[in-house]
Structure 1
Amino acid sequence: MDHQHILKYIRQVFGSTEFIPLHAPYFGGNEKKYVLDTIDSTFVSSVGAFVNRFEEMMCEITGARFAVATVNGTTALQMALLAAGTQRGDEVITQTLSFVATANAIAHAGATPVFVDVDRDTLGMSPSALATFLREHVHINAQGQPVNKGTGKRIAACVPMHTFGLPCKIDEIAAICEEFHIPLVEDAAESLGSYYKGKHTGTTGLLAAFSFNGNKTVTCGGGGAIVTDDEKLAKKLKHLTTTAKVPHPWEFVHDETGFNFRMPNLNAAMACAQLEQLPRFLQNKRDLADKYASFFEGSPIQFVKEPANAIANYWLNVILMPDGHEKDKFLETSNGSGVMTRPAWRLNHKLPMYANCQTGDLTNSIWLEERIVNIPSSFRPDLQ
């Protein structure tokens, strides 16, 4: 398919001859009102009504019993790993096809990432690749802990990521993790509004992390959330992310090493206004994905549709080019023409700080890295 033909169609869909971003935020609700309300209240930091309301809304949307607001998705994942029992010197299994924040959060928690492959239909962690790695490299010790045979280190958690909002086969992954006594912590940063077999992403594992960065479906500039059904863990996380301060009318008493990771009320105000519009955002983005799917149907370029048994939020729309050369040509042409497109992230195991980490077979990840292109996916306010 001719590249100019694709760019012409994208411009037609967005109704613009100007620069078209990959994913621009849209503020068409109560964002300004709520932020001004916060300023008028003077509660602009981590204590305020909108922080509490944001957590309530995240529970309502995901179906999780508890939510804890954080300053960004990376800190949410780091804290979720610590709450799951990750300790310095442990290992955490994740996928190499992911934004670097996934591996960074593991490192921040004091652990070392171990990378396994993804499936081509979900772009997320492959249950078969996970099972193969565990059966070849992990045994259960006398204390019932999963231990890497080669390194002698404990496997503290497994972190699949719902890539670009496409749910992975999380029920199969959960069953494998249960077999090997490994806590499941979902990186749901990109998948707000996505479901697998009727369950919202992030609600199958012990804990999950969401992101509200400036480029996400719902944004508050910077923000994150941890969700869980475990009340004890939720209370612990709220305490730790608020500098582990013991409640007292005036004294400052902290009972353990805490973190200053609580979401400010200003950000929460914007997040609440954005969450109110989530159904509209999701329907609008699904319409865009449907248009792309029809346009690319029958061409050598594959549009990645939501996998079986899933409802995706289509955060970033994905096409697969025939090969790496074609991908590079399209990226150069599109960005040079004012239509923003992006490749997949460089695989995490290729980054210098993670180059020595253990990996399983990564055939699918390498194949996808050579072909993935994200195309413009913004909310279109003109579409009713």
Structure 2
Amino acid sequence: MNKFSEIINIIRQNFNQPEDFIPLHAPTFNGNEKKYLNECIDSTFVSSVGKFVDRFEEEVAKYTGAIKAVVCVNGTNALHLALLLAGVERDDEVLTQALTFIATANAISYCGARPVFIDVDKDTLGLSPGKLEDWLTQNVEIRNQGAINKTTGKKIAACVPMHTFGHPCQIDEIISICNKYYIPVVEDAAESLGSYYNEIHTGTFGRIGVISFNGNKVMTTGGGGMLLFNNEELAHKAKHLTTQAKMPHKWEFMHDEIGYNYRMPNLNAALGLAQLEQIEGFLKAKRKLAENYKEEFKRLNVHFISEPVNSKSNYWLNAILLKDRNERDEFLKFTNEHGVMTRPVWELMNRLPMFSNAQCGDLSNAEWIADRLVNIPSSVILQ
């Protein structure tokens, strides 16, 4: 039996699926989802106003330790709004990692800003504090308490690190470095609900944090996102902007600035609340699967991505590293042809046509990872 077949056997044994198709990450609905959805429908409040929206925001804030949480229709919209609230304007520049999902770079573009791509660390898969500091030292000068790119003359208006696959990056170091340059940090925690760095929940370190509840996340609202705040005034501003910046009034339609229809419907919030009630069970099951994978892949001499030091990962998507790009591609073909869904990491942002002219730092770690990393099935397995 070859190594690829052995890996497939490990996956099938863990999912107790000897023959059927195994998806990468399917949602689990074993709680009050139908009950809450029926309540929502019976109330007729199925759009953006309703008790489930308020309760969902309150419970997520409580769970993560944020002072306030504001729901959005999806994580990308939440990230766009977070950047606007952080002060990003047209023609500004925003630092982020090249190894990320397209939403990170797209949200920067929605602001009319330009991304600058920095490398990641191999152990966290997230933005590298060392590479970030190197790039800032070489390329940025401080003028009037602002960071200015010496090459372009543009302001560096924000930094967006991402907790890749739920593994926390060294967010405290990143914030410390950015503070020296007066650069606010918007934390892309889209994939890391239930992950902790130094016993603090991800998404609560930066000025604003963003979570995603897409259908393939640890828990889902079907589609949805959330902004996390440690500043209540900023949270109120976010809520105002997500509701078309409409000023409170029983019947008048007055709007005091450009707003957005980024509101999460009550239906989605009802689903999310039921999912959140089960999250500890989801996380426990995902950790058990990751531990099983780690032990079994060790026997095959296959490198399994484990949580970094000082971290507790949610293990949203499990990942392995193969020998090189050729082996990666052969493995992807073999597994998908044999009914086990696997996928490579995202194409590096600077390799996409719309960002091909972006300024980049040394991306050697991101390039090395992109050639080798494969995500393997990671759904919640409830006993």
Alpha-carbon offset, residue 300 of structure 1:
3.5
Spell out, residue by residue over 1:266-287, the C-alpha distance to the aligned partner (whole angstroms, 9 max, x if none).
0000000000000000000000
Q: Is 1:363 the counterpart of 2:369 in the alignment?
A: no
Give the structure 2 partner of residue 354 of structure 1: 355
* Post-superposition offset of 1:298: 4.7
- Aligned with residue 129 of structure 1, among 131, 135, 160: 131
Partners of 2:272 and 2:353 lie apart in 1 by 35
CA separation in 2, counterparts of 1:358 and 1:300? 37
For 1:58, the equivalent position in structure 2 comes to 60
User: 1:300–1:322: 8 Å Cα contact kept in structure 2?
Assistant: no
Determine the structure 2 residue equivalent to 1:307.
Answer: 308
Q: What secondary structure is seen at the aligned counterpart in 2 of 1:88? A: coil
Q: Which runs of 5+ in 2 are unaligned?
A: none
Is the CA contact 1:7–1:339 (under 8 Å) kept in the aligned structure 2? yes
**Where does residue 107 of structure 2 map in the other structure?**
105
CA deviations on 1:225-273 (whole Å, 9 max, x unpaired) are 0001111110110000000000001111111110000111000000000
Deviation at 1:2, TM superposition (A): 1.1
Q: Distance in 2 between matches of 1:119 and 1:300?
A: 22
2:229 equivalent in structure 1: 228
The SS at the match of 1:113 is strand
- Give the RMSD, CA atoms, in angstroms: 0.7
**Stretches (4+) displaced over 3 A:** none
> What are the within-5 Å matches in structure 2 for residues 238-253 of structure 1?
238-253=239-254
1:73 equivalent to 2:81? Answer no
Aligned length: 381
Contact 1:318 / 1:374 at 8 angstroms: preserved in 2? yes
The equivalent residue for 2:318 is: 317
2:15–2:381 contact (8 Å) kept in structure 1: yes
Equivalent pair of 2:3/2:300 in contact (CA under 8 Å): no
Alpha-carbon offset, residue 9 of structure 1: 1.4
1:91 counterpart = 2:93: yes
Q: Identity of paired residues, percent?
A: 58
Question: Does structure 1 retain, via aligned residues, the 8 Å contact 2:74–2:224?
Answer: yes
Letter in 2 for 1:185: V
For each residue in 1:187-243, what CA deviation from the matched residue of structure 2 results, as whole angstroms up to 9, or x when unmatched?
000000000001100111000110000100010110000001111110110000000
Q: How high is the TM-score relative to the length of structure 1?
A: 0.98
Asked whether the 8 Å contact 1:300–1:321 carries over to 2, the reply is no
1:87-112 deviation per Cα after TM superposition (whole angstroms, max 9, x unaligned): 11100000010000000011112210
Which residue of 2 is the match for residue 171 of structure 1? 172
Conserved? CA contact 2:342–2:376, under 8 Å: yes
**What letter corresponds to residue 324 of structure 2 in structure 1?**
D
Separation of aligned partners in 1, 2:240 and 2:317:
34
Q: Is the 8 A contact 2:317 2:375 kept in 1?
A: yes
Q: Does 1:197 align with 2:195?
A: no
Secondary structure of 1:297's match? helix
Alpha-carbon distance in structure 2 between the residues aligned to 1:81 and 1:61: 23
Corresponding position of 1:185: 186
Q: Which amino acid aligns with 1:24?
A: A
The CA distance in 2 between the partners of 1:56 and 1:261, in whole Å, is 18
Mean CA deviation greater in 127-136 or 297-306: 297-306
2:192 is matched by which residue type in structure 1? S
Gaps of 5+ in 1: none
Quick one: distance in 2 between partners of 1:97 and 1:299?
A: 27
- Aligned mates of 1:241, 1:283 — CA distance in 2: 34
Aligned counterpart, 1:42: 44
Alpha-carbon deviations, 1:312-368, whole Å to 9, x = none? 000000100011111111100000000000000000110011100000000000000
